[in-house]
Structure 1
Amino acid sequence: MTALAHDIETAPSSRVASGFGFAALSAMAFGLSGSLAKGLLDAGWTAGAAVTVRVLLAAAVLLIPAAVSLRGQWNRLRDNAGLIVAYGVIGVAGCQLAYFNAVDHMDVGVALLIEFTCPVVVVGWMWFRHEQRPGRLTVIGGSLAAGGLVLVLNLLSGADIDGIGIVWALGAMIGAAVYWVISADDDTGLPPLALAAGGLLCGGVILLIAGLVGVVPFAATRADVTFAHATVPWWVPIVGLGVVTAALAYVLGIAASRRLGSRLASFVGLAEVLTALVFAWLLLDQSPSPVQLGGGALILLGVIVVKLGERQVRQEDFSTGSQISTV
């Protein structure tokens, strides 16, 4: 019994450490997407065309590694077909379609703030589905992170708010929450590569259909793309969007969620906003203000407090001998 207790205490610590590393890299990869996409949009691409190419390219990159990761156990795809479709339709295509429709009706900052309140939805789901009531530290950390987001997105200066835009942004928030919850499911036997590839392929097909029927405007160009300090061929940001900000980002995000759990991973994912500011500074010459930097510090503080709260919950679960799923 002592050895078992020791394993329970030590094994999660290494997984948590690697989980934070994967989550940080995933946030960095996701954060790069905005700046790369901005260059394409300025060159004449529509958002729908850029995100569809991004998702389909990522699926193509991951197909062979995903097949290898299954090691011939194709039944895992059949057994988890519903999960893969939900991940692709809601967590990938639905989330991005809702977000782009939101920014068509309201300021980007407001849309981002609403979408990135998804950790609240995740906490509520864990409470409703698994009776994991959030502790005091989780609530405090979430409040700090939310305040930091308001500062980072510079919403105090005033923003355009539209009812239809809010509805779309709430849809993006739900899609993001579904992404974190499904990504954290480690009981399916489905490798992260397989889940990411299947979800991206499904989401990409949905986006392509949406473009063909006119739900999302499609337009693209082969003109060079100009950033703050360089002009590059159009395919350079496309490759970056597909390989780095989608294929790599989704795989790392799933790996992080399975180590940290959906609640903590969704809070760590808020770092995407910070990395987006850094890349906007480097590639678009958009320097963050002191208020935004202070907001970033609040987000990091909030994540630390949430982590302390999760550790407290885990210790209580171990002491009672319960094993609660993260999904």
Structure 2
Amino acid sequence: MHTSQRRSAGLGLALASAFAFGGSGVAAKPLIEAGLDPLHVVWLRVTGAALVMLPVAWQHRNLVRERPALLAGFGLFAVAGVQAFYFASISRIPVGVALLVEYLAPALVLGWVRFVQRRPVTRAAAAGVVLAVGGLACVVEVWAGLSFDAVGLLLALGAACCQVGYFVLSDQGSQDAGGGGSADAGPPHPVGVIAYGLLVGAAVLTVVARPWGMDWMALGGSAAMNGHQVPAWLLLGWIVLLATVLAYVTGVVSVRLLSPQVAGVVACLEAVIATVLAWVLLGEHLSMPQLVGGCIVLIGAFIAQSSAPRPPSGPVASGPGTPGLLPEGAAGAGASAAGEGRLSGRPAGP
């Protein structure tokens, strides 16, 4: 494939990934408002995606022996932690706000590098952190005494902290060949890491969420989406197949076709997409200061992530704005991926 074709294909896949990740919260919130517990929605998402990715996990079963710490960290922090905190946060605050709070992850990563590891950071990275924090102050309207639910904001911040935890674990694991794996083992296949991360996340969430107590009948009903009734099973399919499986896989391939910097720029669109989708499909309106603050958060996150030391090549996850893995939202939120690891609520969100 020629360079121009690779770039076009990579941009298309990166956009598809951003749209898929950005829609996770929009599809999940109606299910939560219909009566499902946020942890149960997360469990359904992760377990459903893990079942779909089982053939991939079997194909890369050598990772269990070579990279056990990486798989455990990815499943615990980037999958279970990020998504549980993100989905819990969107049950209390708007989807766009929750995802933007996760974009504090670059600032937290740089704080870890500077004050815990005592390594220098560039002035550009520090400026990016200041911008991100200042933009977040506009998003949550601190002058109004925090116009959003404080617990919801703390839950979104918890998603960002889980993303940082995964980065720290991944960085330390890379120094000993993947956390106890073979020293001769090559870089882990990112899709394989995603598959096992989903399996680990599903196992952890099964213990935490206790799905046997879930209201299974709710999945046979419908959920309200901005005044319209949508079948619950359709929203669940959206979350599992589009916002998880498709989002992760297209994100992995796009990073391989594009440079990390370009992938990071496109990934930052996830927060914009999530905010617009929540506006159109859920009727969640943000004020002008909040929209301006959101743009500042994204700019600051991108500067911080572009200027920070790169984490080792690794998995791709959903979540917003940290170097390597983010979102969802995410998710994420990734979401944004500046390197070979990406996740909001984002990945979070992610």
Q: TM-score, normalised by structure 1?
A: 0.70
Q: Does 1:46 align with 2:37?
A: yes
- 1:233: how far off? 1.7
Corresponding residue number in structure 1 for 2:132: 145
Q: How do 1:136-285 residues align onto structure 2 when only pairs under 5 Å count?
A: 136-159=123-146, 171-179=158-166, 188-212=186-210, 218-220=214-216, 221=218, 222-228=220-226, 230-253=228-251, 271-285=269-283
Distance 1:150 1:64, change over 3 A: farther
Preserved CA contact (<8 Å) 2:26 2:281: yes
Conserved in 1, the CA contact under 8 Å of 2:26 and 2:278?
A: yes
- Determine if contact 1:180/1:266 at 8 Å carries over to the other structure: no
Query: In the alignment, which residue of structure 2 is the partner of 1:34?
Result: 25
CA positional deviation for 1:264 = 9.9
Mark the CA change 1:306 to 1:115 in structure 2 (over 3 Å): closer, same or farther: closer
Q: Does 1:85 align with 2:76?
A: no
In structure 2, what is the equivalent of residue 133 of structure 1? 120
Once residues 266 and 58 of structure 2 are traced to their aligned partners in structure 1, the CA distance between those partners, rounded to angstroms, is 29
Q: Which amino acid aligns with 1:57?
A: G
Change in 2 beyond 3 A, CA 1:24/1:213: closer
DSSP 3-state at the match of 2:53: helix
AA aligned opposite 1:144: L
The structure whose residues are more often helix, as a share, is 1
- Where structure 2 has 5 or more consecutive residues not aligned to the other structure, the ranges are 179-184, 311-338, 342-350
8 Å Cα contact 2:113-2:120 kept in structure 1? yes
Deviation at 1:224, TM superposition (A): 1.5
Deviation readout 1:48-93 (Å, 9 max, x if unpaired): 111110111111222224545x4xxx42331112210111112221
> Residue 119 in 1 paired to residue 106 in 2?
yes
Work out whether residues 38 and 84 of structure 2, in 8 Å CA contact, stay in contact via their aligned partners in 1.
no
State the shift of 1:242 in Å: 0.9
Tell me if the contact between 1:35 and 1:284 (Cα under 8 Å) persists in the aligned partners: yes
Residue segments in structure 1 that go unaligned for 5+ positions in a row: 1-10, 315-324
Distance verdict in 2 for CA 1:26–1:294, change over 3 Å: same
Give the corresponding residue for 1:8.
Answer: none
- Is this contact kept in 2: 1:58–1:200, CA < 8 A? yes
Q: Compared with structure 1, are the counterparts of its residues 22 and 296 closer, same or farther at alpha carbon in structure 2 (3 Å cutoff)?
A: farther
Conservation of the 8 A alpha-carbon contact between 1:49 and 1:219: no
Distance 1:192 1:171 in 2: 25
CA RMSD of aligned residues (A): 4.3
**CA distance in 2: counterparts of 1:52 and 1:166, whole angstroms:** 22
What SS is found at the alignment partner of 1:237?
helix
Matches of 2:153 and 2:88, distance apart in 1: 10
Equivalence for 1:292: 290
Paired with 1:79 and 1:32, the residues of 2 have a C-alpha distance of 34
Amino acid corresponding to residue 33 of structure 1 in structure 2? S
Greater relative CO, 1 or 2 (CA 8 Å, sep 6+): 1
Partner amino acid for 1:35?
V
Q: Deviations over 1:137-156 (max 9, x none)?
A: 11112322333333345554
Label 1:202 to 1:228 Cα distance change in 2 as closer, same or farther (>3 A). Answer: same
Amino acid at match of 2:104: T
Range with bigger deviation, 44-53 or 225-234? 225-234
CA distance in 2: counterparts of 1:25 and 1:56, whole angstroms: 22
Structure 1 residues 251, 150: CA separation in 2 closer, same or farther (over 3 Å shift)?
A: farther
Distance 2:153 2:340 in 1: 29
- Write the distance in 2 (CA, Å) between the matches of 1:266 and 1:308: 8
Determine the structure 1 residue equivalent to 2:52. Answer: 61
2:215 partner amino acid: A
Give secondary structure in 1 for the equivalent of 2:130: helix
| Alignment deviations for residues 201-228 of structure 1 (CA, whole Å, 9 cap, x no partner) | 11112111112299xx743402112323
CA 1:83 to 1:204, structure 2 compared with 1: closer, same or farther past 3 Å?
Answer: same
| Larger Cα-atom Rg | 1
Mark the CA change 1:139 to 1:260 in structure 2 (over 3 Å): closer, same or farther: farther
Query: Between Structure 1 and Structure 2, how many residues are aligned?
Result: 295
Closer/same/farther in 2, CA of residues 102 and 188 from structure 1, 3 Å limit: farther
How far has the Cα of 1:37 moved from its partner? 1.0
State the TM-score, normalizing by the size of structure 2.
Answer: 0.66
Partner in structure 2 of residue 320 of structure 1: none
* C-alpha contact 1:180 1:265 (8 A) present in aligned 2: no
Task: Tell me the alpha carbon deviations over residues 260-281 of structure 1, each in whole angstroms, 9 at most, x when there is no partner.
Answer: 66x9988975543322211112
